[in-house]
Structure formats: structure tokens, C-alpha cells
Amino acid sequence: MKRTRQEKVRLGFLFVLTCCFFLVVFLRLVHLQVLLHDSYSEVVDRQSGGTVTIPSARGVIYDRNGRVMANNVYQSSVYAYPENRKELNDIARYIEKVWNLSPNTAKKQFGLAPKRFRWIKRMIDDRLAARIEKEAPPGLHLRQEAQRVYPMGVVGKQILGFTDIDNRGQSGLEYAWDSVLAGQKGYADIRRDGLRRTFKVKEKALVKPIPGQSVVLTLDYRMQEIVEEELRNAVEKYNAKSGMAAFIDCNNGDILAMAHFDPSEKHPERPVKLRAVTDRWEPGSIFKAFTAAALLDSGLVDFTDSTYCEEGKWRCNNRYLHDDKELGWLSFRQIMELSSNIGVAKYAIELGGEKIIEAARRFGLGEKSNCGLPGETSGKVTPPGRWSEYNTAMVAIGHSVAVSALQMAAAFGAIANGGELLRPRFILGHVDSEGCVMTGNRCEIIRRTMERASADTLRAILRGVVQRGTAEAANSTVVSIAGKTGTAQIYDVENRRYFYSKYMASFAGFFPAEQPLVAGIVVIEKPHPIHYGGWTAAPAFRKIAERYAVLNPDLFTSSERILAEQGSHDEQTAEVPNLIGRNLTNAEQAVFKEGLMLRTNRSDGLVIWQYPQPDHLLFAGDEVIVVTQELASDDVMMLDLKGLSIREASAFASFANIKLEITGQGQVVKQSIRPGTDITDDAVCKLACRSI
């Protein structure tokens, strides 16, 4: 069929029109895909996806034995991000249905608005999360969030602290080490479907999160639990306002346990501070240990020096010092054992107040230990505006001085280890990516506080405080304890005087006494009606030491375990007789009669010194050490020290005015001055010791 000219024109026009249409479409596609690619890609990304943060996993916290103290669990949280008004209305109605809210209240309650992020509910249970994921309207989303959990409950929470709902540290270790534990957040692309009914269809990490570093504490969970339990028991038993305690390894400074107990504390699971670190208080008589250290180092006193204690009342600069008992002539050791204020004050006045302050500062009082916990107090050790005999006396017995429990634990740790002040620490190490513990420096020595020989003598004195003095309630048949009691009146800041009936009762010490491992302190605030540290804090300290020793039998030497076993049998002990003034033959008979042995420096003469002191209890077969002297001679002959403990050797050296240089620990195996040699002035004896 032959087409007419008109038909040909119409077909040509349609062909050209069709070609133009496809050319326009093609050009438009080129325009969209090439020229406007970047801008429209942004629109697509905005509508179907976005960038969100990926929280990092917070580091795990372990105790020194690998127990998990803080960990993470993951739960779903709900949030809203409506794109428009319609999505906003749908979200509001759905929220009101799920959480049983009154109609038309969700928008105002949650502050819903288009293109605004709003949390609806944090940390919901899995069943509700599954329901929301299945039926939630567009713009309502789920996110997985980490929640901090503490498997040991409230035990150790005062040290650990806590985190807020965003997993940020708020107190304690969680706050102080937040930057280490928190890690770094990551970022990711997210995609939605066309109806915006799902949130996480695809996720691609742009920046991967860096997990927080896990840390291992020096804390011993078992010790921490014991301390918290016994502290609570003591506060309740003695009707006290509160209590606090701190215990450290005296050989490396590791903090084993710290706690406080306050019955009025409403939220123990969310502690704001750790009072053993943050609070300062006047130590009272436990400060006498540092006064004694200064006196021993100065050479002003030894075991047998004596002074008159004025029958309990002494006038000093028109003011009076008092003792609880009417005490007469006492040796320095008895002054410490019975905690005579007057006896210590007389020696302190002779030494001078400045040297006492210097000694206290050497022990770390008046400065922060920089252990790493927040809110640590430095305490207060400052000289008065003018030194007088009375001011010197008051400082010497622990008034006008302020300390923290951690400071005192570290200071008594220095006495226990021979005179080295160690920096307390509570981070044992970090856990690397392979799960191995990377430990740091095991021990940081801040300074030497006193001579080793003086420390040995002071340890023996503090052991006597427990055996015969004000801390008899701390004496144990399970583990040997040494320490000092304190009963300090609380200062009334408003009226600038001391309360007459409000006290801080304390006991600071270490155990085992022969080879110390742990040093610590227990402080009881305002106990009543019994307010003495020897009858409140000391028994609590003893129970803590006994329970820890039972849980850790491998930490204690065989001799210490034998002592604990023998200590429960009174028939195996003997009372040391008074041998002073007797001739050697008579002294031997008296000792043998009690089932004891005798060690002497010569084969004849009169006894002029003995150790232990009369009435001291020893086990059958133990030695009594005596020094004899001829009537016509003032010379003292060297004693055979081999086989003696450092404490026993130090007691003889203190009497004979010998300076000791000791290497090793345990019993004496070698001495530089031969037995039987006359001792010269300023003699120095080198002792080699070894644990046997």
C-alpha cells in the first residue's frame, strides 16, 4: 500500500518526536547521574541511611586473683527519630499503647519532634525488645547498649565506684580511670528499607571502636569481704556512728582492702567517696609509734630507759597532761605498752617538736600518697606557730595532727618492713589483647623512714603492746599481731575545743609480728559506751587478721602455724621469771624450773638484763636471753646471736648500745663481732640473716 504524502509527513513527525523524547530522557539521565550525582547521592543517603556511633566495650576489672569485679552486659534501648509529622504521630500513638500512657501525652513527655533524637526507654528486657523490633512504626528504633554489672554485689564498690547509664565513670576507680576503661567510640553507616520500618538492615564500620583496657587490681576480694563484714559488725556492736579500715601488703605497697561503713548511707551500691582515702582525723595515741621511731633513731631511748609518769597527772606549761591510770616509774617499753601520755611527752620534749614533725613527714603523713584514687586527702602535719613544751607534748601524742586511714596503713607498713615507706597502689597490671596480664613496677620506695635496727626494736615494742598492753584484745592464738591503740577525742571545730565524750577509736598494726606480711588500721567513729581503741578497733583488727590467715595458710611460715597451734594450749606455756640481780647459777635454776632454756653472754656474773621481760609467756623449750656482768667490771661481752630472730638480736643491741647492719630476713646465721668479745663504744655489728 502506497502511503500518501500527508501520511509520510505524520510518520516522520512522530519519529522525530519519539527520538526527541528519548534524547531528552537520555540527557536528563546524564544530567541526574553525572552532573547532579553528588547532590542526589547525599539526598539518598540522608533518606535511607546515616552515620551512627558504635559504643566501645568498657574494660573488665579483675581482683588480684582473677575474679571479675566489674563486667558488661548488653541490652536494647529504644529511641525515636521521626522524619516528618506523620511519623511523629504514629510513634506517639505506639508509645502510648506499649507503655500504657494517657492519650496525647507522649509528645510532650518525651519531647518528640521531627528530625530530633529522643531516648524513649533505656535498657529494656529482651521480650519487649523483640516486640518493638517486629511492630514498631517508622522512626522508632532499637540500639544495643552496654550496662555495667558488678558480680560481687556491693563488696568493693567503694573502691570500684559506679558508672551512669551512658557507661561513664562517676566515682572511684571507674571515674579515676575512665579514659583507660572506656576506650574510643566507632562510627558506622546504616541503611533503611523504603518504608523505613527497620533500622539496621546493613551496617558498615567507618571507624572501628577501640575496646577499653581491662585492668587487674591489687585488691583481694576475700580480704575485702572480710574487712567489710568485720567493720560492719564492729560498728553495730559498739553503737558507733561509722567505721573505716585499710590494709596493704607491707612488702610491696599493694592495697589489699579498703572500706568504710556508715549505717546512715542510703545507697551503698552507688558510693560517692571512699572515706579511708578522703577523710582525715586526729590519730591520737597510734601516732606515738612515730614519736617512738624518732626517739629510737635519735638514740635517746632504749628498751630499759625509764621515767616517772607522775601518777597520772603532770603540770606542763601551766596546763595538765593526764593518763588513764596512775602510773609511776616505767621503762620506755612499758610507757608504749600502757600508752602513757606523760611518759611519751617527757621524752618528746627532750627530743624537740621539730624532729617529731620531721619523723611524721618521713612516714608520709601530711602528703598525698598519689595512689590514683579520687578525692585523696593529704592530711595535716604542720608545726604550731610557737613551740612550747605543751605543744610538743600534744603533737607527740597525736593531737593537732590529721591523717587518713590509708596513710596510717602505709606508715605502719614501713615499720613492719624495716623502715621503707612504699607507695600504696591498687592497679596490679593491665590485660593485653591476648589476655595476658602486663604488670608494672612491683614496688616503689618513696623514702626510708627510720633505721632498720630502730624498726626492729619498734616492732618488738608494738608486739608487747598486744601481748601485755592496751591492745590485749588484739592478741590472737591464730596469728601473731603487733600494733598500737588510739583513743582520740574528736575536735569541735565550731567551739574550738575537744568534745569530752566523743572519740575516734583505732588500732593500727601488722601481722604476722615476726615476719610481717600485712599492715593495716581499723578506725571506729564515736563508739559508746565503750570508747577505747583497745576494746573496739583492736578486736575487729584481730578478727580480720585471723580470718585472712585461715584463708591463706600458704602465706604463713611453718613456725607461725606451729605458734598458732601451740597458742591454744595453755599448759605448754611458761611465765618468764625475774632474773635481774641473780647470779648465773640461780638464774639457770629458775629458768629450767619453768621448762625454759637460757642463753647468756658469759659463764658467770650477775644478770643485769634479760629478754623477754618478766611475766612474759613463752612456750616450753624457748630461750630466755640474759646479759651477765662481773661486779668489778662495767664491760659487756658480746652475745652469741646466731639462731636468734632479728627482734631478739635488736633487743640485745639496743641494750648494749650496738649499731646493727642487717642483711636478709629471718634468723641470724652470721655476726661480725665474735661472741665473748668486749663491746666497745659505738660498736657496729653486721648480721647476716636467713629464713630457716
pLDDT for the residue 571: 42
DSSP run (H or E) holding 37: helix 37-48
The three grid cell numbers given for residue 19, joined into one nine-digit string: 527520538
Say which residue the cell 548488653 belongs to. 74
Query: What is the CATH superfamily name and number for domain 221-263+276-568?
Result: DD-peptidase/beta-lactamase superfamily (3.40.710.10)
Q: What is the pLDDT of residue 570?
A: 41
CB 250 within 8 A of CB 518: yes
Rounded to whole angstroms, how far apart are CA atoms 159 and 583? 60
CA distances from 433 to 58, 224, 436, 438, 682 (A): 14, 28, 7, 10, 58
Sequence-ordered list of residues with C-beta below 8 angstroms from that of 680, at least 6 positions apart, any chain: none
Asked whether the predicted pLDDT for residue 266 surpasses 60, the reply is: yes
What are 504-554's pLDDT values in tens digits?
A: 999 999 999 888 999 999 999 999 999 999 999 999 999 999 999 888 776
Task: Output 585 or 287, whichever has higher pLDDT.
Answer: 287
pLDDT at 267: 81
Q: For position 132, what pLDDT does the model report?
A: 82
Measured torsion, CA atoms of residues 554, 555, 560, 561, in degrees rounded to the nearest 10: -30
> Which residues in 188-206 are b (16+ Cβ under 10 Å) and which e?
bebebeeebeebeeeeeee
- pLDDT score, position 49: 57
Residue 518 pairs with which residues in a beta bridge? 249, 511
Which residues are CB-contacts of 30 (< 8 A; sequence separation ≥ 6)?
none
Q: Which CATH number fits domain 51-214: 3.30.70.260, 3.30.160.100, 1.10.3720.10, 3.90.1310.10?
A: 3.90.1310.10
Neighbours of 692 (CB within 10 A): 10
On whether the CB atoms of residues 519 and 247 are closer than 8 A, the answer is yes
Q: CA-to-CA distance for 59 and 57, rounded, in angstroms?
A: 6
Find out whether 244 and 271 touch, Cβ atoms under 8 Å. Answer: no
pLDDT at residue 61 is higher than 60: yes
- Please state whether 90 falls in left (phi above 0), alpha (psi between -120 and 50) or beta: alpha
Pairing mode, strands 68-80 and 118-124: antiparallel
57 vs 543, more confident: 543
Residue 97 three-state SS: helix
Please determine, for residue 185, whether its predicted confidence score (pLDDT) is greater than 90.
no
| Strand arrangement, sheet containing 497-511 | 255-261, 242-249, 518-525, 497-511, 482-492
pLDDT tier for residue 341 given thresholds of 50, 70 and 90: very high
Radius of gyration of the chain (CA): 38
> Hey, where are the domains in the chain?
51-214, 221-263+276-568, 571-690
- The amino acid that residue 42 corresponds to is E
Task: Provide the pLDDT for residue 48.
Answer: 57
pLDDT at 561: 42
CATH architecture of residue range(s) 571-690: 2-Layer Sandwich (3.30)
Residues 129-174 pLDDT 10s: 888 888 888 888 887 777 788 888 888 888 888 888 777 888 888 8
The answer for residues whose C-beta is within 8 angstroms of residue 607's C-beta and 6 or more apart is 579, 580, 581, 582, 583, 584, 587, 626, 627, 628
Helix 646-656, helix 452-468: angle, nearest 10:
110
197-to-124, 139, 191 alpha-carbon distances in Å: 20, 8, 11
Sequence-distant (≥ 6) Cβ neighbours of residue 277 within 8 angstroms: 258, 371, 373, 375, 376, 377, 404, 405, 406
pLDDT of residue 43: 64
Host H or E run for residue 558: helix 558-566
User: Which grid coordinates are listed for 595?
Assistant: 621448762
Residue 308: the pLDDT is 92
Q: What does DSSP say about strands 68-80 and 61-62: parallel, antiparallel, or unpaired?
A: antiparallel
Which segments of 276-331 are extended strands (E)?
Answer: 306-308, 313-316, 319-322, 329-331
What whole-number distance in Å separates Cα of residue 172 and Cα of residue 183?
A: 18
Instruction: Give 359's contacts (C-beta < 8 A, 6+ positions apart).
Output: 290, 291, 293, 294, 297, 449, 450
Per-residue confidence band for 566, with pLDDT thresholds at 50, 70 and 90:
very low
**Max Cα–Cα distance, the chain, nearest Å:** 163
Residue 28's H or E segment, with its range, is helix 5-30
Cell of 212: 577499653
Dihedral of CA 196/199/202/204: which sign? positive
Assess contact for 422 and 401: CB atoms under 8 A. Answer: no
CA distances from 427 to 235, 255, 424, 438 (A): 29, 9, 10, 11
Residue with cell 567507618: 206
CB 438, CB 431: distance < 8 Å:
yes
Cis peptide preceding 529, ω within 30 of 0: yes
Q: Is this structure's pTM higher than 0.75? A: no
Higher pLDDT residue, 582 or 442? 582
CA atoms within 13 A on the CB side of 18: 6
Residue 519: what residue type? A
Which of residues 272 and 481 earns the better pLDDT score? Answer: 481
